[in-house]
Amino acid sequence: MKSAPRQVVTPNPKMSLTIPSGMAPVEFFNSPANLKNLAEENGLFRTPEDLLMYRKLIGHSTAFDTSVILDTSRRILDPLGRAVRRDQMARRQKKVWNIMTQILFDYLLEEFPEPDQHLILCGEASLDSTWPLNKPGVPSIRMIHNHFMAFPMDVIESADYANPTDPNLTDSGHHSLFLRHLSEIYHEFLDVLDLQILHPISSTESSLALTGYPQGLPSWELKGGPSKLKDQYFWHEYEQILLGFLDFYRTFFSLVSTGDARVPNDANFPGQIDEVLLSSNQFQRVARDLRERVIQDPQFANEIRWRPAYKQLIYRDDAGRLIVTISQNSVGNAITELLGIVVKRREDEEAYAAVEPELVGRLLAAREKLMAANLGEPIAAPSWPNGEFVRR
């Protein structure tokens, strides 16, 4: 069977929310009212640190699909003032975030133990607060989120092949900068990280056989297996990868923006930036070429995300290893597309109703794990008023 990206069709119910007359959907989705609706209708669990677990009603998978977001919409009304990356989170928030991630990923491993039967992953992503509010495709919730999901392998295998030039698979063309033009220097730059638990692994070795993804991204194998998710030093290393990515991103797009080759003021690895990035003719040439394209092409210029935006994944590969990878986060693309899975959502009330009880049952079972850890309080949404699924 050909190794190629797939397009998975996922049914979803009709959204039960009313957008005020005369208000564009993208405007409503960035309002505190949307977050209030999300928590009331699909909320599962909330912690004192404002971490909210909820069902992804218009989701990616009907096997398991939930997100945890840092929901500060009730405290911070300005969408541009909210944390969109883990390095902007308070220490206590980050600690609980890590614990929730470990518990929910452990649940996925328990519920879906066979790597040849299910693909499981969690993807942490920034929602870039610098995107214009009226831009088409703008993230609907301007807060950092972590997305947990599972896909049956037979669903991926039987899915149609996706168009390899799909903008969502290529980050609207920006991802190719890292893959085709900067991959070697990107890997070299991240070699500075002093990692003990995470060990570099080639994307060729860690890519999924069905899709051939991820492609060209720096990847690390979690040595010691799932138990290491409970190790605080793993989360330190996980954050070091993000900090290295931020340095690379800021240095590159600062060079594109100003034409000046300089080390950013808030750099985490200034020596490595100077020695590896700014001394590289290739790095500077790609930045100059992109700078010229931005000047000449207004449509392309409108797609650039000048501030760091990322997707950082933990997923289980075909061999059962846990792999970490990181990519920039551009217009419209989703967590799954780093692994070569394009999700086409289709409104189908009947198909969704057939799978909803089992899906919600798993979400509630995962929530039980968080409750047992005494991290917060459950939310009684209309579909699970007393901790059990009720058809609406």
Q: Is it the case that residue 383 has pLDDT exceeding 80? A: yes
What does the pLDDT read at residue 138? 52
Q: Which three-class secondary structure state does DSSP give residue 69?
A: strand
* pLDDT tens track for 349-382: 999 999 999 999 999 999 999 999 999 999 999 9
Read off the pLDDT band of 334 (50, 70, 90): confident
Q: Report the C-alpha gap between 200 and 220 in whole angstroms.
A: 4
What does the pLDDT read at residue 303? 72
What does the pLDDT read at residue 163? 87
Q: Is it the case that residue 177 has pLDDT exceeding 70? A: no
Cβ neighbours for 155, distance < 8 A, ≥ 6 positions apart: 8
**Domain coordinates in residue numbering, the chain:** 6-170+198-223+311-378
Q: How large a percentage of the chain has pLDDT more than 90? A: 62
Q: Do 218 and 59 contact (CB within 8 A), yes or no?
A: no
Peptide bond into 214 cis (omega under 30): yes
Q: Look up tokens 């999300």; give the residue.
A: 38
Q: Do 71 and 146 contact (CB within 8 A), yes or no?
A: no
What does the pLDDT read at residue 209? 95
Q: Please state the rounded mean pLDDT for residues 291-304.
A: 86
What does the pLDDT read at residue 170? 60
What does the pLDDT read at residue 176? 54
Please give the span between the terminal C-alpha atoms of the chain, in angstroms, as a whole number. Answer: 41
What pTM did the predictor assign? 0.92
* pLDDT tens track for 201-226: 987 898 999 999 888 788 999 999 99
